[in-house]
Amino acid sequence: MEFIIQFLAEIFLQLFFEVLAEAGLHFWDRQKKYNPYWVSLGYILLGAILGGLSLILFPESFLSSTSLKIINLIITPIIIGALMAWIGRHRKIRSKDVIRLESFFYGYLFALSMALVRMLFTT
């Protein structure tokens, strides 16, 4: 039971930073202006930067074992990517602007880079 709470804490932490980034990027990202390769690199860097900033608030990992951290590195970005795709579909249905982060691929890249930074640098 404890490991489920640890996973949920990591998922919610990453989701919080992803939604924070999403809110800021609605102002900046306008789907058609940028090369997808550069956008991918940008989301990877943004995820890594916010992963580093999350270490200031939570320097210790919510996950106690290395194997759980590796499982988190695999599962959490998939969950976050799916949630971001759901948000994007929901916004599109309501005829609101949709940014690239609100897709599975870009949400996954962002969450993967954040999870990797947290896995490598948490105590």
Q: Indicate the pLDDT class of residue 27, thresholds 50, 70 and 90.
A: low
pLDDT higher than 80, residue 45 = yes
Task: With respect to residue 17, please indicate whether it lies within any of the assigned structural domains.
Answer: no
Task: With respect to residue 25, please indicate whether it lies within any of the assigned structural domains.
Answer: no
Task: With respect to residue 18, please indicate whether it lies within any of the assigned structural domains.
Answer: no
Task: With respect to residue 16, please indicate whether it lies within any of the assigned structural domains.
Answer: no
Q: Which of 39, 40, 48 is nearest to 114 (CA)?
A: 48
Q: What is the pLDDT of residue 10?
A: 79
Q: Indicate the pLDDT class of residue 24, thresholds 50, 70 and 90.
A: low
H or E, element range at 20: helix 2-28
Q: What is the pLDDT of residue 17?
A: 75
Q: Indicate the pLDDT class of residue 7, thresholds 50, 70 and 90.
A: confident
Task: With respect to residue 29, please indicate whether it lies within any of the assigned structural domains.
Answer: no
Question: Which residue range forms the structural domain that includes residue 67?
Answer: 34-121
Total count of domains within the chain = 1
Task: With respect to residue 1, please indicate whether it lies within any of the assigned structural domains.
Answer: no
Q: Which of 110, 104, 112 is nearest to 88 (CA)?
A: 104
Residue 94's Cβ-count burial label (10 Å; 0-12, 13-18, 19+) is: exposed
Task: With respect to residue 11, please indicate whether it lies within any of the assigned structural domains.
Answer: no
CB within 8 A of 96, min separation 6: which ones?
none
Residues 53-92 have pLDDT tens digits of 999 988 998 888 888 889 989 999 999 999 999 999 998 9
- Percent of all residues in the chain with a pLDDT value above 70, rounded to a whole number: 89
Q: What is the pLDDT of residue 80?
A: 92
- Percent of all residues in the chain with a pLDDT value above 90, rounded to a whole number: 43
